[in-house]
Amino acid sequence: MKSRLRFTLQLSFTLIVCLFMIVPVAMSVLAGLTENYFVGLQSGLTLRWVNEVWELYSDTIWLSIKLALACLLITTLIGVPAAYGLLRSRRRWANAIEELLLLPVAVPGLATALALLLAYGSYREFRGSWLFILIGHVLFTLPFMVRAVLSVMQTAKLPQLEEAAASLGASFRQRFFSVVIPNCMSGILAGALMVITLSIGEFNITWMLHTPLTKTLPVGLADSYASMRLEIGSAYTLIFLVMVVPLLVAIQWAGRLTEQRR
């Protein structure tokens, strides 16, 4: 009996905490689907606001996707070799570099953005293009790729596998592509999902670096909250959730895949 009571209490506490966090999200989503939020649900459900957001802000969504994919490409091309280099280099150096890599994560995004503006702001063409924002995103997300790949590399016993491959006649290139890359694929996957999610949701750096022509999704979101009807902002949130939630689920899944490999 006693344990039953305790179970009931625990369950209700958990549910209350969940509600506390989920209700605002649900309300927001609902607001984006309601005809008139101030009248309430009886005004009826509609996709009108979602449509309106799409018309007003679809270019921010496309830009965000383009940025995320470009960012993924660059962080993979730089991050995987970088992680491999850290793995093979001497311990003291590797530790120092790993910490340096974390700097862009620790430093406030606004400061990173300001530094970028100071350094490259005078190149007008570059300043106005989406590539400028891309630099900021790469700086911010690269450490996550390197860390994810490095942690898998460290458990994969790569040095031994490479020695075995070399003994069978594989050159460095052949070893890298047939042994190193396939055996840290789960780390690359986990890193990739992380990079995409972070890039799509990044606000601080982007907000400083954007121009009226290079707005990303989160920047557009802030814009709509500030200047549009509440329903439009909420509908925008809904679109953002639809894009990001599957990615978060995939990150979980990739993480479990990595653990199984160990």
Partner 1 sequence: MSSSVSITLTHCSRTFAGGHMALQPLDLKVNAGETLVLLGPSGCGKTTTLRIISGLESPDKGGQVQFGQRDVTTLPIEKRDVGMVFQNYALFPNMSVADNIAYGLKLQRLSRFEITQRRDEAMRMVDLQGFGERRIDALSGGQKQRVALARAIAVRPKVLLFDEPLAALDAKLRDRLRIEIGQLLRELGTTAVYVTHDQDEAMALGDRIAVMQAGRIAQLGTPQEIYHQPANAFVADFIGAVNCLSVIATKPDGQLAVHGGELSAPHLLGATEIYCRPEDIQVVPLNQADIKGQVVQSVFLGQTQRLLVDAGGTVPLQIEAPSRQRWPNGTAIGLALPFNVLFHPDKPTTTINTKEMANG
Site of interaction with partner 1 (CB under 8 A): 156-157, 160-161, 163-171, 174, 178-179, 182-183, 185, 261
Determine contact, residues 258/75, Cβ cutoff 8 Å: no
| Least distance in angstroms from the C-beta of 163 to partner 1 | 6
SS3 39: coil
The tokens describing 102, both together, are: 């974390």
Counting Cα atoms < 13 Å in the Cβ hemisphere of 189 gives: 15
Using the minimum distance from each CB to partner 1, give the nearer residue, 34 or 183.
183
| Least distance in angstroms from the C-beta of 154 to partner 1 | 15
Distances (CA, A) of 226 to 64, 76, 221, 230, 233: 20, 36, 9, 9, 9
Using the minimum distance from each CB to partner 1, give the nearer residue, 64 or 186.
186
Distances (CA, A) of 157 to 41, 154, 172: 58, 7, 17
| Least distance in angstroms from the C-beta of 36 to partner 1 | 57
| Least distance in angstroms from the C-beta of 27 to partner 1 | 47
Using the minimum distance from each CB to partner 1, give the nearer residue, 127 or 261.
261
| Least distance in angstroms from the C-beta of 247 to partner 1 | 25
Q: Where are the alpha helices (DSSP H) in the chain?
A: 2-33, 48-88, 91-106, 109-120, 124-128, 130-155, 158-167, 172-175, 181-183, 185-201, 204-209, 217-227, 230-261
Using the minimum distance from each CB to partner 1, give the nearer residue, 90 or 124.
90
Using the minimum distance from each CB to partner 1, give the nearer residue, 174 or 211.
174
